[in-house]
Structure formats: structure tokens, C-alpha cells
């Protein structure tokens, strides 16, 4: 089965759609003039401090305020301040005050009435490794299960140990050559040093680092290993992707293909618009006749599993309930990834009487979640039979991307 990443322009958006065969698995939409600030690094100014919540508001552009937690950001990189260390050689905590200028990175974009969140804990992400300022430990993705490989990767990163920053070895790094990982480590360190050394001398509100466009991040953040082709029908996008691959992923350059057909666009060839419409509908029908209903709210997402026609004329009702729930579990994992749902997710499966059936359902659901490249955690099943799930927020959910 061929896996393809289809990247195309439509109206004022760039669509990045990951297909397994003809099945749309994951999709993201970004404005052609991308105004997103997530991951960007700025030289900001402390506008005011709110002591009762131990937070500050940092201005990163004229009039654009961001929330900054002082308890979570103990080592700010400040203008006119040297990085100090305590007697154990560790970073020394620094308190900020109104008027200070410091380097901050946007860790969360604004959501409705909430301001963007910025952090001094600078994170620079590569394809194989992420550099984390303020945290000098070396971690390895939990998705890499091989203990011997985990230790090999840790040993590579230890060569670059530093009291200011640490590293997180990403899933993509598994079984990659040592030279490739070391090369990226050095590039990340150079980027960090440049931001820290020269950033403090820039004028206030300067953009010191800009996150690559969303479709480039899709290529970088894991698709390359699973994709047979990157396809686009836009010349500008083709050359931008080609430039990125030549510099950062030359081994994947042969996967890039330009699609040319004056009669049939790439989006129509893959039926992307119809698939997007399906992904925005609240109800999804199951082959068994059951259905799931997906309702995002401001606080969480609720998913309800219904039997529908699945129990008509059936005698062994509990067996049927389990069968529908197992089918729903697979579809729910698919829809969560496709719709890019995140935060707290509550699933109301059909009630099961037997504990062994409940346990089996949870094991199957957890197995599907482990296939998601975004960290998805199956928390528990409550006494009311509600399943609690959390999923890391990487981007806005699909319904917001379409609306923006």
C-alpha cells in the first residue's frame, strides 16, 4: 500500500494531507500567508507582573500581550544579564521585573479569549532531536522500545552535554546513523548559541527564530519514514520542499514528485474536499450499523458510541455490544488523529457487563492510540463506564483550521 503526503494550494490555504492508500489519515490546513506564531522566538518586554497568580504579561509585538508563568520559567535569557550558575554548576534562577527584556518562545497560540503563552524554556526541534534550554537532562522518546537502541542514542547525545540545555531524542532517530544524529545536534546547538548570543542585542520585539511552515513540519516530524511520495502540483511549493529536503533530508529527495494534469487537480484526484467535509461531520457511521457522535466543546471533546441498527434481531446482545465497541475504538482513534482533537477526550462506549470485555476493549483502544504519532494517553475507565483520554496539543483542531 502506497503512502503519500499530498501538498496543495486551495483558495488561501495550503493543504497537507497524509494518505495510506486512498484513506485520508491526517490533514492540516495553513494559510498561504502563514501568520501563526507557535514556536516563534521573540525578544519581548515585561509589561506587568501579576503577583497573586505568579505570572507576567510579556509584550512580543506592539500591543500583543502573552501570558508568562513565572513558576514554570526559572531561567530567563535577559538583555544585559549574564547567565549565572550556582556552586553546583547549575543554572541560577533569575527573577524578572517590569520593563525587563528577555527572549521568549510561543508555546501556545491564542485560543478565543485566552492570550498566547510564552516561555523562557526555549525548545528547538529537529527531525531527530529537540534541544531544551533550562533542562540539562537527556530523554528518549517512549515510542523507542528497544533498550539497547535507547542507550545508544543517549550515549550519542551525552557527547554534547551542557549545563544550560539538554536533549530529547525523537522517535525518528531510532536506528539512524550516529553521524546523522551528531550533525543535527551540532546544528541545533549552533542555532541556540546564535539566538542567545545575538538575540539580546536585537531591537525590542524582534523575531529571532521562525518556525518552518506547517507543511514542512509535516515532512520533518515523522512522515518521511512512512511516506513513499511527497506530491504537489504547485511550482512554488515544489521548490520550497525541494530546497528543504536538499539541506535537511537529502535521503528523501527522490520521494518528491511534481504532479501535472491540466484537467484534474491534485485535490480532486484524491477527493480531499469530500474527505474534509466528512471529517467535519459530528456523526460517523460504522459498518456494523452503529455510529459515533463527536462533539468538541471549549473544555473537552465528548464522543458517544451508539448501537443504531447493530442490535436489531440480535440475541447475544452483550457480544454485539462488544463487537460494536471494538469497531468504534478503531474508528475513534482514526477520527481523533484525522480531526486533530487534543486535550481531554471523554468516550461513552456502550455499557458492557463483563469485566473481561471492558479490559479487552481498553487494551484494543490503547493499542490503536500507540499508533498515533502525537502522544495520546488512555487514562482510565470511570465507575460510570466513561473512558478518559488525553492527547497532546500540537496544532489547532481541524474544525478551527478550516474556519480560520
Return the CATH number at 199: 2.40.50.140
CB-based contact 322:311 (threshold 8 Å):
no
Q: Could you count the other beta carbons within 10 Å of the beta carbon of residue 42?
A: 27
Comparing 183 with 251, the larger pLDDT belongs to 183
Per-residue pLDDT, 118: 93
Rounded to an integer, the average pLDDT of 27-33 is 86
Query: Helix (H, G, I), strand (E, B), or coil: what is residue 356?
Result: helix
- Place 350 in a pLDDT band, splitting at 50, 70 and 90: very high
Measure the CA–CA gap between 286 and 178, rounded to whole angstroms: 46
Same domain, 337 and 292: yes
Rounded to an integer, the average pLDDT of 64-69 is 92
Q: What are phi and psi of 243, to 5 degrees?
A: -60, -40
Same domain, 250 and 158: no
Residue-wise DSSP of 169-218: E-GGGTT--HHHHHHHHHHHHHHHHHHHHHHTTSPTT-EEE-PPPHHHHH
pLDDT higher than 70, residue 81: no
Domain boundary among 191, 212, 233: 212
CB-based contact 217:240 (threshold 8 Å):
no
Per-residue pLDDT, 221: 78
Same domain, 88 and 65: yes
Same domain, 188 and 232: no
Q: Could you count the other beta carbons within 10 Å of the beta carbon of residue 235?
A: 10
Measure the CA–CA gap between 270 and 268, rounded to whole angstroms: 5
DSSP code of 76? -
Rounded to an integer, the average pLDDT of 190-197 is 92
CATH number of residue 263's parent domain: 3.30.420.140
Comparing 56 with 309, the larger pLDDT belongs to 56
Domain boundary among 280, 311, 335: 280
Same domain, 93 and 152: yes
Per-residue pLDDT, 250: 86
Measure the CA–CA gap between 208 and 265, rounded to whole angstroms: 38
Q: What angle do CA 339, 331, 327 make, to 5 degrees?
A: 170
- Place 117 in a pLDDT band, splitting at 50, 70 and 90: very high
Rounded to an integer, the average pLDDT of 292-306 is 93
Domain boundary among 212, 239, 260: 212
Dihedral (CA of 133, 135, 140, 141) sign: negative
Per-residue pLDDT, 224: 56
pLDDT higher than 80, residue 112: no
Same domain, 342 and 259: no
Per-residue pLDDT, 385: 87
- Number of domain units in the chain: 3
Per-residue pLDDT, 230: 93
Work out the end-to-end distance of the chain between its first and last CA atoms, rounded to an integer number of angstroms: 33
Measure the CA–CA gap between 242 and 95, rounded to whole angstroms: 45
- Place 319 in a pLDDT band, splitting at 50, 70 and 90: confident
Mean pLDDT of the residues in the chain: 89
Domain that holds residue 233: 1-33+213-280
Query: Helix (H, G, I), strand (E, B), or coil: what is residue 321?
Result: helix
Per-residue pLDDT, 238: 95
pLDDT higher than 60, residue 313: no
pLDDT higher than 70, residue 299: yes
β pairing state of 301-306 and 343-348:
parallel
Same domain, 48 and 185: yes
Angle formed by the axes of helices 355-369 and 317-339, nearest 10°: 20
CB-based contact 337:372 (threshold 8 Å):
yes
How many helical (H) and strand (E) elements, i.e. helices and strands, does the chain have?
Answer: 10, 22
CB-based contact 306:288 (threshold 8 Å):
no
Beta bridge pairs of residue 390: 344, 377
Measure the CA–CA gap between 212 and 235, rounded to whole angstroms: 18
Same domain, 260 and 137: no
User: What percentage of residues in the chain have a pLDDT greater than 70?
Assistant: 93
Q: Which of 76, 71, 143, 131 is nearest to 103 (CA)?
A: 76
Rounded to an integer, the average pLDDT of 56-85 is 84
Cell of 238: 515544489
Side by side, which strands form the sheet with 138-140?
Answer: 123-125, 129-133, 165-169, 138-140
Measure the CA–CA gap between 191 and 208, rounded to whole angstroms: 10
Same domain, 91 and 118: yes
Measure the CA–CA gap between 70 and 7, rounded to whole angstroms: 40
Per-residue pLDDT, 89: 64
Q: Which of 105, 128, 84 is nearest to 37 (CA)?
A: 105
Same domain, 173 and 192: yes
Per-residue pLDDT, 291: 92
- Place 390 in a pLDDT band, splitting at 50, 70 and 90: very high
DSSP code of 221? I
β pairing state of 229-232 and 3-10:
parallel
- Place 327 in a pLDDT band, splitting at 50, 70 and 90: very high
User: What percentage of residues in the chain have a pLDDT greater than 90?
Assistant: 57
Same domain, 265 and 235: yes
Per-residue pLDDT, 384: 86
Q: Cβ neighbours of residue 280 under 8 Å, at least 6 residues apart?
A: 339, 398, 399, 402
Same domain, 226 and 156: no
Amino acid at each position: 500500500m502506497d503512502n503519500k503526503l499530498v501538498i496543495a494550494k486551495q483558495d488561501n490555504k495550503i493543504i497537507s494531507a497524509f494518505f495510506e492508500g486512498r484513506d485520508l489519515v491526517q490533514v492540516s490546513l495553513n494559510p498561504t500567508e502563514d501568520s501563526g506564531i507557535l514556536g516563534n522566538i521573540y525578544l519581548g518586554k515585561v509589561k506587568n507582573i501579576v503577583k497573586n497568580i505568579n505570572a507576567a504579561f510579556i509584550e512580543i509585538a506592539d500591543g500583543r500581550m502573552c501570558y508568562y508563568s513565572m513558576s514554570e520559567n526559572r531561567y530567563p535569557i535577559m538583555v544585559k544579564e549574564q547567565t549565572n550558575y550556582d556552586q553546583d554548576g547549575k543554572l541560577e534562577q533569575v527573577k524578572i521585573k517590569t520593563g525587563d527584556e528577555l527572549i521568549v518562545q510561543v508555546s501556545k497560540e491564542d485560543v478565543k479569549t485566552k492570550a498566547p503563552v510564552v516561555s523562557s524554556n526555549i525548545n528547538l526541534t529537529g527531525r531527530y532531536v529537540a534541544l531544551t534550554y533550562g533542562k540539562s537532562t537527556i530523554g528518549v522518546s517512549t515510542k523507542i522500545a528497544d533498550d539497547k537502541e535507547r542507550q545508544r542514542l543517549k550515549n550519542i547525545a551525552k557527547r554534547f552535554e551542557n549545563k544550560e540545555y539538554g536533549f530529547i531524542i525523537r522517535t525518528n532517530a531510532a536506528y539512524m546513523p550516529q553521524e546523522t544524529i551528531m550533525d543535527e545536534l551540532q546544528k541545533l546547538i549552533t542555532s541556540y548559541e546564535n539566538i542567545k548570543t545575538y538575540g539580546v542585542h536585537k531591537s525590542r520585539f524582534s523575531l529571532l527564530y521562525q518556525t518552518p511552515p506547517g507543511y514542512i513540519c509535516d515532512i520533518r516530524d515523522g512522515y518521511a519514514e512512512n511516506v513513499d511520495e511527497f506530491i504537489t502540483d504547485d511550482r512554488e511549493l515544489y521548490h520550497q520542499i525541494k530546497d528543504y529536503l536538499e539541506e535537511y533530508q537529502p535521503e528523501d529527495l527522490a520521494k518528491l514528485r511534481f504532479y501535472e494534469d491540466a484537467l484534474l487537480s491534485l485535490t480532486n484526484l484524491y477527493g480531499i474536499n469530500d474527505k474534509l467535509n466528512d471529517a467535519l461531520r459530528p456523526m460517523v457511521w460504522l459498518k456494523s450499523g452503529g455510529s459515533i457522535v463527536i462533539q468538541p466543546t471549549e473544555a473537552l471533546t465528548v464522543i458517544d458510541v451508539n448501537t443504531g441498527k447493530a442490535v436489531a434481531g440480535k440475541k447475544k446482545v452483550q457480544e454485539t455490544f462488544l463487537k460494536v465497541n471494538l469497531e468504534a475504538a478503531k474508528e475513534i482513534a482514526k477520527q481523533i488523529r484525522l480531526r486533530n482533537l487534543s486535550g481531554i477526550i471523554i468516550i461513552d462506549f456502550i455499557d458492557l457487563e463483563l469485566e473481561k470485555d471492558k479490559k479487552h476493549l481498553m487494551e484494543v483502544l490503547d493499542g490503536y492510540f500507540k499508533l498515533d504519532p502525537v502522544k495520546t494517553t488512555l487514562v482510565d475507565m470511570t465507575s460510570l463506564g466513561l473512558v478518559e483520554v488525553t492527547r497532546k496539543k500540537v496544532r489547532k483542531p481541524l474544525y478551527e483550521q478550516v474556519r480560520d
